[in-house]
Every structure is written in C-alpha cells, then in structure tokens.
Amino acid sequence: MNRFDLLNKIQNILKDNLVICNIGLPSQELYKINDQPNFFYMLGSMGLSSSIGLGLALSQNKHVISIDGDGSVLMNMNTLATIGNRAPSNYSLLIIDNGSYGSTGDQRTFTDENTSLKDVAIGAGCKNVVECSGDETVNALNKAIDDKDNSYVIISKINSGNVKIDPIPINPITIRDRFRKFIGIVKYL
C-alpha cells in the first residue's frame, strides 16, 4: 500500500473532520481523490501540518486530523513535545510513514534507517501513540475520533511510491475561506 492507496482508504473518515494536509503530493493526492472544503491544503511551510492542526484543535471543538509525513515530522520534531503536553482530545496526528521524501523524488528518510517516530513521540510525552500498518489505519483513526477524552498520534507504516499528479489549482485564499466557512466563521461565501 502506498500513500495514494491509504488516502483512498481513509477518505470517508477524513470528509467528516477538519483536515490539515501536508504540502506536496499528500495534498495533491487528497485533492484528486475527493476534494472537500474542510480540507486545508498546505502550499508551503513544510513541517508545520502537525502544528497548524494543534492550533486549530485548541481553538474550536470539531475534531482535527493533521496528515503529516515522516520527512515533515523529522523537520519539526519539537512540536511532538508541544503535542505531548498540550494536545486536546479533539486532535489526531496521522503520520504517513513511508520512509521517504515522496514529493522530492523518494529519497530515503531516517525512519528507513534507525529512527522510530513512535519512540520519539512517546519520549516527547505523547499519549496513545499507535504504530500500525496501512490496513489498520482506518480502525486506529476511528478509535481516535470516537475517544472524546484523549488525543492520538498514529504512525501508519506504508510503502513509498507516488502517482502522477498535477499541482492543486485552488488559490490559497480560497482554501482559507472555504475552510473557515465550513467551521462557520466566514459568512460571505
């Protein structure tokens, strides 16, 4: 299973939640599979999906899923400590761990060598850290959303590999405003 297969598998869960999606191929693939106004596609700031989702979960009550990658989490590991100490129960971090920098040509990341993001997350203070296969991700995500008392970090181990895909055609302000309209903040759209 690669990232595109996994996103296909979890699309029905994602469409009912607020989703912050990582820059590059993850966002492009999600857009192609099933574009929704409640999907915030990152067009820059690699590494910050987990942080953006955390700020959003702290600011309103709907469930938030941050879709991140192993390369991106390696770039911003300090935020696991913030999540470990501050994440509210409406927050789930889904790390799609394919051991490679998919958007830049599938170079190997350190999770393909010695680094375990599960151990890093636990060491950073995160509770409910689940490492699972791609097939087990649907159940893990459902459990995280149903649990109204705890936040979760799910590390979904899959194969590397991408599908051929175009850049996202929506401009950033449209992404921003339709997302905030879904939450109920923007009224003019």
Partner 1 sequence: MKISKKIIDNLKKGGVDFYLSVPCKLLANMIAILENDKDVYYSAVPREEEGMGICAGAYLGNKFPCIMMQNTGIGNSVNAIVSLLQLYQMPVVFLISYRGTPGEPVGAQGGMAKITEDILQTLRIPMLHCSTEKDLEKISTFSKHAKVVESPVAILCDFNLMKDDT
Site mask, partner 1, residues 58-77, x = CB under 8 A?
Answer: xxx---x-----------x-
45 near partner 1, judged by CB under 8 A: yes
Pairwise CA distance, residues 127 & 29, whole Å: 29
57 near partner 1, judged by CB under 8 A: yes
43 near partner 1, judged by CB under 8 A: yes
173 near partner 1, judged by CB under 8 A: yes
Burial (Cβ within 10 Å: 0-12, 13-18, ≥19) of residue 113: exposed
DSSP symbol at 4: H
53 near partner 1, judged by CB under 8 A: yes
Site mask, partner 1, residues 22-41, x = CB under 8 A?
Answer: ------------------x-
22 contacts 44 by C-beta, under 8 angstroms: no
55 near partner 1, judged by CB under 8 A: yes
Looking at beta carbons only, is 83 or 130 nearer to partner 1?
83
CB of 134 to partner 1, least distance (A): 26
Burial (Cβ within 10 Å: 0-12, 13-18, ≥19) of residue 14: buried
Looking at beta carbons only, is 60 or 133 nearer to partner 1?
60
89 contacts 150 by C-beta, under 8 angstroms: yes
9 near partner 1, judged by CB under 8 A: no
Residue 57 DSSP SS3: helix
- Measuring CA to CA, how many Å separate 16 from each of 37, 65, 114? 11, 10, 36
- Sites of contact with partner 1 (CB under 8 A): 20, 40, 42-45, 47-60, 64, 76, 78-79, 81-82, 86, 172-173, 175-176, 179-180, 183, 185
